[in-house]
Amino acid sequence: MKHIYMWHDGDVKRHYFSSKLTYNKWLREFVSELMSDPTFPSFYGNLKNKSKKDVMNYFSSNLYLEKIKLDEA
């Protein structure tokens, strides 16, 4: 059974990944950039003073990440 992963930020913006590995690579870059932004705590106050791992876990939750099963032909 094949799957893809879809990540969305709650708005219309979506990212699609062919594997969990490619998703995790993207997520590490995304979280690093996000945490280096000085305005980060104002948008995600619940993540203030959290570790990078905690932030990555938050963005990997069902709120943001969906595993989609593909039909097999």
What's the predicted TM-score (pTM) here?
A: 0.82
What is the DSSP secondary-structure string of the chain?
A: --EEEEEE-SSS-EEEESSHHHHHHHHHHHHHHHHHSTTHHHH-GGGTT--HHHHHHHHTSTTTEEEEEPPP-
| C-beta separation of 27 from 60 below 8 A | yes
pLDDT (0 to 100) of residue 15: 92
Structure tokens belonging to residue 62:
């069902």
Give the tens place of pLDDT for each residue, 3-57: 899 999 877 678 999 999 999 999 999 999 989 988 887 777 788 889 999 999 9
